[in-house]
Amino acid sequence: MTHGTLRLGTRASDLARTQAGTVADALAGVGVNCELVPMTSDGDVTRASLASLGGTGVFAARLRTALLAEECDLVVHSYKDLPTAPHPGLEVVASPVREDHRDALCGRDGLALAELPAGARVGTGSPRRAAQLRTVRPDLEVVDIRGNVGTRLAFVSSGELDAVVLAAAGLRRLGLDEVITETLDWPTAPGQGVLAVEIRSSQDAPLRDALAQIHDGGTWACAQAERSVLATLEAGCAAPVAAHASISDGVGTPGPRLTVRALAYRPGGGEVLEASAEVEPAEAVTAGADVARRLLADGAADWIHD
Ligand SMILES: NCc1[nH]cc(CCC(=O)O)c1CC(=O)O
Specify the pLDDT at position 55.
54
| Shared-domain flag, residues 201 and 236 | no
Strands (E), the chain: 5-11, 33-39, 74-78, 90-94, 103-107, 121-124, 141-144, 163-167, 182-183, 195-200, 241-247, 258-265, 272-279
Q: Is 64 a catalytic residue?
A: no
Categorize the per-residue pLDDT at 236 as very low, low, confident or very high, splitting at 50, 70 and 90: confident
In the DSSP assignment, the letter for residue 108 is: G
Specify the pLDDT at position 254.
84
Categorize the per-residue pLDDT at 284 as very low, low, confident or very high, splitting at 50, 70 and 90: very high
| Shared-domain flag, residues 32 and 156 | no
Cα–Cα dist 142/124, whole Å: 7
How large is the average pLDDT for residues 250-259?
A: 88
Q: Answer whether 241's CB lies under 8 Å from 235's CB.
A: yes
Whether 78 is in the pocket of ligand 1, judged by its Cβ within 6 Å, is: yes
Helix (H), strand (E), coil (C) string for 139-186: CCEEEECCCCHHHHHHHHHCCCCCEEEEEHHHHHHCCCHHHCCEECCC
Pocket test for ligand 1, best of 22, 44, 58, 78 (most atoms within 8 A of CB): 78
Specify the pLDDT at position 169.
98
Task: Answer yes or no: is pLDDT of 46 > 90.
Answer: no
Structural domain count, the chain: 3
Specify the pLDDT at position 17.
97
In a domain, 58, yes or no: yes
In a domain, 255, yes or no: yes
Specify the pLDDT at position 291.
98
| Shared-domain flag, residues 177 and 108 | yes
Q: Is 152 a catalytic residue?
A: yes
Torsion of CA 69, 71, 72, 75, to 10 degrees: -60
Pocket test for ligand 1, best of 11, 56, 80 (most atoms within 8 A of CB): 80
* Stretch among 76-85, 113-122, 297-306 having the lowest mean pLDDT: 297-306
> What's the chain's average pLDDT?
93
Specify the pLDDT at position 40.
84
Q: Which residue among the candidates 11, 64, 98, 152 is catalytic per the annotation? A: 152
Give 166: exposed, middle or buried? Use CB within 10 Å, 0-12, 13-18, 19+: buried
| Shared-domain flag, residues 228 and 211 | no
In a domain, 251, yes or no: yes
Instruction: Give nearest CA residue, ligand 1 atom 8.
Output: 170
Cα–Cα dist 70/74, whole Å: 9
In a domain, 172, yes or no: yes
Q: Is 128 a catalytic residue?
A: yes
Q: Which residue among the candidates 73, 81, 162, 290 is catalytic per the annotation? A: 81
The domain that holds 228 is classified in CATH as 3.30.160.40
Give 115: exposed, middle or buried? Use CB within 10 Å, 0-12, 13-18, 19+: middle
In a domain, 62, yes or no: yes
Specify the pLDDT at position 36.
97
Specify the pLDDT at position 250.
78
User: Which residues are 245's β-sheet partners?
Assistant: 260
Categorize the per-residue pLDDT at 43 as very low, low, confident or very high, splitting at 50, 70 and 90: low
Q: Over pLDDT 90: what percentage of the chain? A: 86
Q: Provide CB contacts within 8 A for 205, sequence distance 6+.
A: none
Categorize the per-residue pLDDT at 243 as very low, low, confident or very high, splitting at 50, 70 and 90: very high
Nearest atom of ligand 1 to the alpha carbon of 152: 16
Instruction: Give nearest CA residue, ligand 1 atom 14.
Output: 167
Q: Which residue among the candidates 128, 134, 173, 227 is catalytic per the annotation? A: 128
Categorize the per-residue pLDDT at 59 as very low, low, confident or very high, splitting at 50, 70 and 90: confident
| Shared-domain flag, residues 176 and 248 | no
| Shared-domain flag, residues 249 and 286 | yes
Q: Is 257 a catalytic residue?
A: no
In a domain, 188, yes or no: no
Q: Answer whether 26's CB lies under 8 Å from 8's CB.
A: no
Whether 81 is in the pocket of ligand 1, judged by its Cβ within 6 Å, is: yes
In a domain, 25, yes or no: yes
Q: Is 237 a catalytic residue?
A: yes
Task: Answer yes or no: is pLDDT of 48 > 60.
Answer: no
Task: Answer yes or no: is pLDDT of 237 > 70.
Answer: yes
| Shared-domain flag, residues 57 and 198 | yes
User: Which residues are 143's β-sheet partners?
Assistant: 123
| Shared-domain flag, residues 267 and 209 | no
The domain that holds 120 is classified in CATH as 3.40.190.10
Q: What does the pLDDT look like over 94-146, one tens digit per residue? A: 999 999 999 999 999 999 999 999 999 999 999 999 999 999 999 999 999 99
Pocket test for ligand 1, best of 56, 192, 222 (most atoms within 8 A of CB): 192
Tell me: ipTM over 0.90. yes
Q: Answer whether 134's CB lies under 8 Å from 269's CB.
A: yes
Task: Answer yes or no: is pLDDT of 232 > 60.
Answer: yes
Q: How far is the CA of 4 from the centre of ligand 1 (A)?
A: 32
Task: Answer yes or no: is pLDDT of 194 > 60.
Answer: yes
In a domain, 46, yes or no: yes
| Shared-domain flag, residues 279 and 143 | no
Show which of 183, 206, 234 is a domain's final residue: 183
| Shared-domain flag, residues 109 and 168 | yes
User: Which residues are 253's β-sheet partners?
Assistant: none
Domain enclosing residue 197, as ranges: 5-97+193-215
Q: Is 261 a catalytic residue?
A: no
| Shared-domain flag, residues 174 and 287 | no
Instruction: Give nearest CA residue, ligand 1 atom 1.
Output: 81
Q: Answer whether 76's CB lies under 8 Å from 96's CB.
A: no
| Shared-domain flag, residues 228 and 205 | no
Q: Is 146 a catalytic residue?
A: yes
Q: What does the pLDDT look like over 9-18, one tens digit per residue? A: 999 999 999 9
